[in-house]
Structure 1
Amino acid sequence: MPITFDHNDQPKLAQNRCPAALVLNPIVGSCRLQKVLMDGGSNLNLIYADTLDKMCAAEQSCTTFKGIVPGREACCSGKITMDVVSGTPDNYRSEEVTFHIAPFKSGYHALLGRDAFSKFQAIPHYDYMKLKMPGPNEIITISNNPDRALKAENKRTSLALETLSEAFAAKELTALRTEVDRDDAILDK
């Protein structure tokens, strides 16, 4: 089945604001996650540790990634493979996806990257804020919820600013301690 986008896919109401990220709500494991970032530019599938608190245990992993939290490198705290389901009860796709567990908070519950796009044979359209994939009966079309996407992005931005602020404060404290130590050394002479 060819996957196409046309004027019928264009949102009915014009957005008064810039579109947020493509955020969907697939079933992951046995839970419907409301804020899953669809990031076709990412090489990772991530799930955040706080999302997993009530889901299940994970196996250990030593994957390191950069660029998720500005200015920080992080090591994942494990990995987990779960079924991800998208679509409706009468036309859905289910694929096993391996997630790396991110040991920090985010405005999103999870991030699906190129690996998941490939498994689902999914095609995003970021102008229309939709994702399409072949289903058993017809093409599955999943639409973004712009309000939920904007709230998730605002939360992610707030957490990133908090992290940067903490890093800046730690750097300033280190510089101040160095200056105090230098002044103490001058006074001791």
Structure 2
Amino acid sequence: MDGGSSLNILYVETFDAMGVSRSKLHTSIFPFLGIIPGMRAYPLGNIELPIMFSDCSNFRTETLIFEIVDFEGSYHAILGHPCYAKFMAVPNSTYIKLKMLGPNGVITVSGSFEQAYAYGPKHFELATAIANSVELQKLRRTVAEGALNSNEPTSSSAFRPIEDTKAIGVDPNDLTKTVWIGALLLAK
């Protein structure tokens, strides 16, 4: 469950394990943000899948659209706002429960605290490693482009702001303590 996600996500490893042919995927033309911090993610495609919660005595089935992503995740899938809206479900992240109305009463889907604790650090480490590698690549490209576009050495003393700046004192008792801000910022 991800109360902040505007997508239902299915990881490709899980999708392949389901035995569904990739030829069934529909084209996804738009990237999405927030799955890998600081990066756009491009799905392999999307697919409509029937999803059922509970058992034969009290169940709900709806068709959901999942974006299939080709990177490692800590879970099999992520259920987001589209799932909650379709099932009229209420997630509670504190108790790791999802509740919705079924034909014979309330359906409660319970998660596992043990798995949440076990996968939480793994997911954080994975996301951090991916974000760091992406940021490092961006930094390397930026530095390389700057070196090609400039005859000056690429050191910290060669830093040049992209717009006019001015120094603002932050401590009236110590005039050496200043911060540089954009001179073109609008006052609000």
TM-score between both structures, scaled by the size of structure 1? 0.67
Residues 156-179 of structure 1 show CA distances to partners (whole Å, capped at 9, x for unaligned) of 212112212322443454467679
Q: How far apart, in 1, do the equivalents of 2:64 and 2:97 lie?
A: 20
Aligned to 2:14: 51
Q: How does 1:12-161 map to 2 (within 5 A)?
A: 38-55=1-18, 56=20, 57=22, 58-161=25-128
5+ residue gaps, structure 1, are 1-37
Q: What secondary structure sits across from 1:53 in the alignment?
A: helix
Q: How far apart, in 1, do the equivalents of 2:68 and 2:98 lie?
A: 24
TM-superposed CA distance for 1:181, in Å, is 7.2
Corresponding residue pairs, total:
149
Amino acid of the structure 2 residue aligned with 1:45: N
Amino acid of the structure 2 residue aligned with 1:105: E
User: Given the superposition, is the C-alpha separation of residues 171 and 127 from structure 1 closer, same or farther in structure 2, using an over 3 Å criterion?
Assistant: closer
Q: What secondary structure sits across from 1:69 in the alignment?
A: coil
5+ residue gaps, structure 2, are 154-188
Contact in 1 for aligned 2:28/2:45 (Cα 8 Å): yes
TM-superposed CA distance for 1:134, in Å, is 0.9
Contact in 2 for aligned 1:77/1:102 (Cα 8 Å): yes
Q: How far apart, in 2, do the equivalents of 1:181 and 1:62 lie?
A: 33
Q: What secondary structure sits across from 1:150 in the alignment?
A: helix
Amino acid of the structure 1 residue aligned with 2:8: N
| Pairwise CA RMSD | 2.6
